[in-house]
Each structure stands twice: as structure tokens, then as C-alpha cells.
């Protein structure tokens, strides 16, 4: 039976971008909220607990990189195949993607068992921080099956334009996490007081629930994909190769973020553990603005992929223009908030006077580069949509490893932690220059030739 053309090729572009992105932007805002709430409750234990969770973040980010990068590869192949009316290939992308998701979980199960403690030990000599961090990281790694399947099922919904259902899955997981955070951390309603471990268990519980909901929504509400156990456990090398042709550069790009945060923790360790805690708080707070832009980006990628496969260049151009304007506006709002209300934001984390002093300067300085980052993120979407993710990888390496970390290291030698934060806007300027160069090349070689 012939399938109707997906709305990504027919709906007016601005309305399509809003309808595709708004659910993901909302769900990512909720995701940002639960990340902040998670840290707020942990901070109520003590600053050492907050520092420990910050030290675990690079490994958590690595999990997200592997899961999300694999999802980007599935998304790009599936959306493009639908646009080209290659329905057998789109089904194969979905089914092979589920097998790869299980493999990702098994990898991080082993990492959780054998690597969690040694990883935290490389960043701190404080026995209390080490114990907190190893406990938290071991739980979220060993129980990461929910995380990986949540991301995959949400990507499958996004790749067929059903972002509302993706929002339902993600919001459900976040809300469950928020509810159980105080219950498990402080031992409310008859539950034992688990402290930092409670925060980890609440996170895992939310992810498992979201993955179950995502699976049900795909099975019942996503007719563009046909699932079968036989197809899942019959891997096709050609499909897996195509998924990872896009996915591996994306994984590498996001993994570089994990390496960057790890190295930045080591640089800030030379000042104080409070500086590390401030860096962790910054990452939680900035997500309120970066997450919606990433949600916009996630909604944009399948639109670009589909219309590239359907050879509709004018829709691609309009989608890019509109998305850049929207992203810049969101990040400009972030810059204003960080500059006008830094003390109030830090106050949510039970901040000491030292933490407020360091954090106020950090939020104001780093946010200088927010609008620049918005343009880079949207330009990066076309790299992923057109299977040129290695451009994004080059940009990410240039920004975070070639510029940000070396500049931060050099500035740290002046003995003033406030100078270190300037490495972030400096790196964004370099990122913009590289992104624009690749963007113009790709624009001329693909869109203008359709």
C-alpha cells in the first residue's frame, strides 16, 4: 500500500518548524528543570555532594553522547529514506538502531562496574567527594538501559515528525525524576534516606519510565515504522555503516564535550573544589537556554533531511533562516538573565559566599558568547542532516580542545579563576568562524545544486 507524503514535505515551513520543535523545546526545558532540581536537592546535602555530582558529569555526558549520536545517525537515515520513499530502508534503520541501543547499554554496564571509582579518583583526593561520586556514577552507569532506549525511541518519533509524542515521553521521565528526587535523597514518605545514591536512583527511574512510554508510543502511534524481533536481531552491515557514518562523528563531537568538562575540572581543581561546583552549577543553569536551542535543532534536522531527499531547496533555505533567528533570540534572553540575576540563580543551590563570588563572575563572562553559540548550533544541524557530521566534529575539536582548554589552562596560570571563564567566549568566536566556513561550502555544493 502506498504511503502518503509526510507533512515535512508539505506543511508551511515556519509552522512546521514550530510544530516539530516546540514539543522538544518544552520537553528539553523540563529536562533542564529536572537537572537543576537534581543539583538543588543534592546541594542541600552539602557542597561536597554537589562537587561529586559535577565530577560524575563527564562520564554521564559520554553516555548521552553515545546514545544521542547513535540516535542522530538513525534519525538522519530514517528521515532521508522516508523522503526518498525507500520504506524498507527506513524500517531497517529503526530495527537495527534498537540492536545498537542494547549494545550501548552493555558497554556502559561494564564501565559502571569497573571504571566508576577510578574515574572519580582521578579528579579528587577528598575521600568524601570520592565516595559520593563513585556511588552516584556506578548507579547511573549500571542502570543506563532506560537512558539509551529512551533516547532511541524519542529519536524514532522525531525522525517521522511525531515530536509531540517525543515530548510526552521525555516530560514523563523528567517529572518522575523530579518527584522522586527529594523522596529518595531525604527519605520521605517511608522511603530510606539514600543521599547522593537517591539522586542517582531517581534519575534511573525516570529514564526507565520514559523508555517504556516511548516504546508504547512508537508501537501504537508511529505507522511510518514497522518493527519486528526478527529484523532487530538480523543486523544489516550496510544499514549499521550508514547509521554510524553520521553517528560516529556526532558521538565523537559530543564525547569531546565530556573530555572538555573533565579537563576543565582538573584546571579548576588547582583553585578550589568550590570552583568545580560553580562550573557544575553553570552547566545546569545554561541548559535552560541551550536545551531549547538543541530542541529546535532536533526538530530542524529531520525537516532538512526530508526536504533534501525530496529535493525541495526553498523549504530548506526558509527553515534555516527562521531557525537561526529563533535560536539567537533564545540565547540573547539567556545572556540577559545571566547578567542581571546571577546571585539569585546561585542562591537556588545553597551557595556559600565564596561560591557566589566565583559564580557571579562566571555566569556573566561565559554568557557573552551565548548568541554566537546559537548560530553555530543551527549551522551544525545542516551538517548532520546532510550526512556531513564530520564537519561538526572538526568544529567541536577546534572549539573545545584546540582553543577552550589550552586558553583556559594558560589563563589559569595568572592565578585568577575569573580569567579562566573568558576561554568560553573566545572559543565561541573561533567556533563561529569554522562553522561559517563549512556552512558556506555545504550550502553551495548541495542546496544551490538541488
Tell me the per-residue pLDDT of 10-48, one tens digit each, with 9 for 90 and over: 777 888 888 888 877 887 787 778 778 888 999 999 999
Least confident range from 376-390, 410-424, 426-440: namely 376-390
Pick the most confident of 44-58, 149-163, 376-390.
Answer: 44-58
Exposure of 389 in the CB half-sphere (CA atoms within 13 A): 27
Model confidence, pTM: 0.85
Burial of residue 268 (number of CB atoms within 10 Å: 0-12, 13-18, 19+): buried
pLDDT in tens, 254-272: 889 899 999 999 999 999 9
The DSSP letter of residue 239 is H
Distance, first Cα to last Cα, the chain: 29
pLDDT of 82 reads 86
C-alpha cell at 301: 534536522
Q: How far, in Å, CA of 217 to CA of 21, rounded?
A: 18
Encode 277-302: b = buried (16+ Cβ within 10 Å), e = exposed.
bbbbbbbbbbbbbbbbbbbbbbbbbb
For cell 554521564, name the residue: 60
Maximum distance among all Cα pairs of the chain, rounded to whole angstroms: 69
Contact 197, 160 (CB under 8 A): no
Amino acid at each position: 500500500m502506498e504511503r502518503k507524503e509526510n507533512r515535512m514535505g508539505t506543511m508551511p515551513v515556519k509552522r512546521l518548524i514550530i510544530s516539530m520543535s516546540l514539543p522538544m523545546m518544552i520537553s528539553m526545558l523540563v529536562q533542564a528543570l529536572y537537572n537543576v532540581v537534581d543539583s538543588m536537592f543534592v546541594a542541600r546535602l552539602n557542597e561536597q555532594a554537589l562537587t561529586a555530582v559535577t565530577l560524575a558529569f563527564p562520564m554521564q555526558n559520554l553516555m548521552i553522547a553515545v546514545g544521542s549520536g547513535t540516535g542522530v545517525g538513525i534519525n538522519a537515515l530514517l528521515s532521508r529514506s522516508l523522503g526518498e520513499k525507500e520504506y524498507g530502508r527506513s524500517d531497517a534503520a529503526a530495527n537495527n538502531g534498537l540492536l545498537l541501543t542494547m549494545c550501548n547499554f552493555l558497554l556502559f554496564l561494564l564501565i559502571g562496574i569497573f571504571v566508576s571509582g577510578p574515574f572519580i579518583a582521578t579528579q579528587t583526593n577528598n575521600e568524601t567527594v570520592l565516595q559520593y561520586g563513585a556511588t552516584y556514577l556506578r548507579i547511573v552507569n549500571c542502570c543506563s538501559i532506560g537512558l539509551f532506549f529512551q533516547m532511541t525511541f524519542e529519536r524514532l518519533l522525531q525522525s517521522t515528525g511525531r515530536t509531540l509524542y517525543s515530548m510526552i515521553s521525555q516530560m514523563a521521565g523528567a517529572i518522575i525524576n523530579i518527584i522522586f528526587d527529594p523522596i529518595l535523597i531525604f527519605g520521605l514518605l517511608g522511603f530510606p534516606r539514600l543521599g547522593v545514591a537517591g539522586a542517582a536512583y531517581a534519575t534511573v527511574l525516570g529514564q526507565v519510565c520514559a523508555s517504556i512510554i516511548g516504546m508504547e508510543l512508537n508501537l501504537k502511534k508511529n505507522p511510518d515504522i514497522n518493527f519486528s524481533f526478527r529484523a532487530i536481531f538480523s543486523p544489516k552491515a550496510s544499514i549499521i555503516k550508514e547509521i554510524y557514518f553520521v553517528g560516529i562523528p556526532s558521538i565523537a563531537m559530543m564525547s569531546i564535550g565530556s573530555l572538555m568538562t573533565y579537563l576543565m575540572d582538573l584546571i579548576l581543581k588547582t583553585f578550589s573544589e568550590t570552583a568545580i561546583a560553580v562550573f557544575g552549577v553553570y552547566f545546569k543553569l545554561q541548559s535552560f537556554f541551550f536545551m531549547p536551542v538543541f530542541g529546535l535543532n532536533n526538530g530542524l534536522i529531520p525537516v532538512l533531511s526530508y526536504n533534501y531527499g525530496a529535493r525541495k531547496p526553498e523549504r530548506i533555505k526558509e527553515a534555516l533562516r527562521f531557525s537561526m533567528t529563533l535560536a539567537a533570540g533564545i540565547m540573547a534572553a539567556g545572556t540577559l538573565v545571566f547578567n542581571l540575576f546571577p546571585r539569585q540563580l546561585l542562591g537556588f543551590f545553597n551557595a556559600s559566599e565564596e561560591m557566589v563570588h566565583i559564580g557571579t563572575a562566571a555566569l556573566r563572562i561565559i554568557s557573552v558568547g551565548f548568541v554566537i553559540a546559537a548560530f553555530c548550533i543551527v549551522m551544525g544541524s545542516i551538517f548532520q542532516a546532510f550526512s556531513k557530521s564530520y564537519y561538526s566534529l572538526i568544529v567541536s575539536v577546534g572549539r573545545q580542545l584546540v582553543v577552550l582548554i589550552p586558553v583556559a589552562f594558560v589563563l589559569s596560570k595568572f592565578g585568577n579563576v575569573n580569567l579562566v571563564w573568558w576561554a568560553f567566549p573566545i572559543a565561541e568566536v573561533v567556533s563561529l568562524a569554522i562553522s561559517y566556513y563549512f556552512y558556506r561550502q555545504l550550502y553551495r555544493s548541495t542546496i544551490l545544486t538541488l
